[in-house]
Amino acid sequence: MDARKQKLLREHRRQKRIALLAVLVVLAVIGTTVSFWLIPVLLVPGWIAHEAWFADHLFYRPQEDYRYEFPPDAVPLAGRIERGCLHLAGELPDADTLILEVQLAATWAGRLRDPQVYIGDDRQDFERSVCGRRYLNLSGHREALHEGLLRFDSRYCRLGAEAKLYAMRSPDYMQKRVLIIAPHADDAELAAFGVYSQASDVAIVTLTQGEIEADNYRRLGLDPAAAARLKGRLRSWDSIAVPLWGGVPQERCVQLGYYCLQLPAMAAEPERAFSSRESGETDIRPARVHNPLQLPGDLNGQPTWQNLQADLRALLAHFRPEVVITPHPELDPHADHVAATRALRQAIEEGEWKPSTLLLYANHLHDNDRWPMGPAGCGVALPPAIEPLPADRLWSPTLDAETRLNKAMALAMHHDLQVPLPLKKRLRRTIQRVLAGRRWPTTGDDEFFRKAVRRHELFWVREL
């Protein structure tokens, strides 16, 4: 997937350079043959159009089909959408997660506005100019669907008549012992606040301090290293304190204190210590002062893969989880997220405690940095899958309005999600609000307040 994204990124940049060259040629012709003063007059609306409709990072064509396969225990039912109702060719089974495969085709207005599909009181958005196979999330609508009361509608796109429903059923994971692996502070809240705030037995392990990119703290008069150290302390505190808002006490939260974006390098050289890129720190123990238990890495405080492995093996043995929530290694491209799940899998293989299930989440995507698309509070359609993924079962619990509000407040407590938006992004949002009809929540400026506070949380299920 990385190779494909790099190819698409190069193509995207090449097309931008060609478009920029064409614009410069046109402006040069205008300046020499018509009037020079027209150039700035034309540049302003051109920039506004770019910010409104061409600023998204979309590294695939909206006309490509999503490619999902589901496991044998997913019950497929053919159906048709007629007059706003879904008619199934068979009895709807008892299931907690319902995914509807449909064909979408944007209208002319769907090139300027995000195409929207309405499912009862829910709304799920898709790429502008969409034309292909997509997957709606009907989880939470089973009763209405069973009784024939679930209505479908669309705006800025046409919804094809042919459809296929995949019904999936999982155990109630909230009643099992759950361990959440968070590469950084806030990953647990972004992916699984709804789950952990309702789970009966849960623990959260954060792998890194998240100390890099601390320029915002330099306004306090700090040099780069001091700013990074302060950010690392604050985010380490967040990883221990914020889960209490969701009912997870401090003694169930662990901060390992490794350094941001160093996990892949640690994996490549397991015995070598990798210090922080920005703070200058080399000892992970100061970030662990609030931990509820002693860990193997506390002995020498070295940021090595060997210590990380020993820590994870000890934590698995201590908390004895039946279910571990961790980043999706194929969907989530963040280097620390990929390395975190790799570290977990190795610790499970080499350790004494073996959980039965992994629940995989994606807080970042290879191809589309706006997913989930649409406003906060709406449902979560399946993300782009242009290349085939493993045929995992899906589990998509629903969050009621109170839980969504609590999730937004938990995100608001994270220092890294409180950074003010730069002027360019504020201007872009204003332009997109007026011209593209997009909306952002009032709970916070960071894009994650829109993307993460949703009707659904979404996990891919892998049995071990």
pLDDT, tens digit (0-9, with 9 covering 90-100), for 400-416: 999 999 999 999 999 99
pLDDT at 398 over 60: yes
Dist CA 368 CA 366 (whole Å): 6
CB 78 within 8 A of CB 164: yes
Residues 6+ apart with CB under 8 A from 251: 292
pLDDT at 102 over 70: yes
Mean pLDDT over 331-342 rounds to 96
Angle between helices 335-350 and 305-319 (to 10 degrees): 60
Q: How far is CA 313 from CA 137, 255, 271, 309, 351, in A?
A: 36, 15, 17, 6, 5
Q: Which two tokens stand for residue 373?
A: 């698309």
Q: Which two tokens stand for residue 276?
A: 């922080």
Domain boundaries, the chain: 2-53, 173-364
Q: How far is CA 77 from CA 80, 91, 459, in A?
A: 10, 8, 22
Mean pLDDT over 58-83 rounds to 95
pLDDT at 458 over 60: yes
Nearest of 335, 273, 282 to residue 308 by alpha carbon = 273
pLDDT of residue 58: 87
pLDDT of residue 264: 97
pLDDT of residue 38: 62
pLDDT at 44 over 90: no
Q: Quick one: fold of 173-364?
A: Rossmann fold (3.40.50)
Per-residue pLDDT reduced to its tens digit, 125-179: 999 999 999 999 999 999 999 999 999 999 999 999 999 999 999 999 999 999 9
Nearest of 420, 1, 455, 442 to residue 215 by alpha carbon = 420
Percentage of the chain modeled with pLDDT above 90: 86
* pTM of the predicted model as reported, rounded to 2 decimal places: 0.93
pLDDT of residue 36: 59
Beta-strand relationship, 152-155 and 131-137: unpaired
CB 460 within 8 A of CB 328: yes
pLDDT at 2 over 60: no
The backbone region for 210, taken as left when phi is positive above 0, alpha when psi lies in -120 to 50, beta otherwise, is left
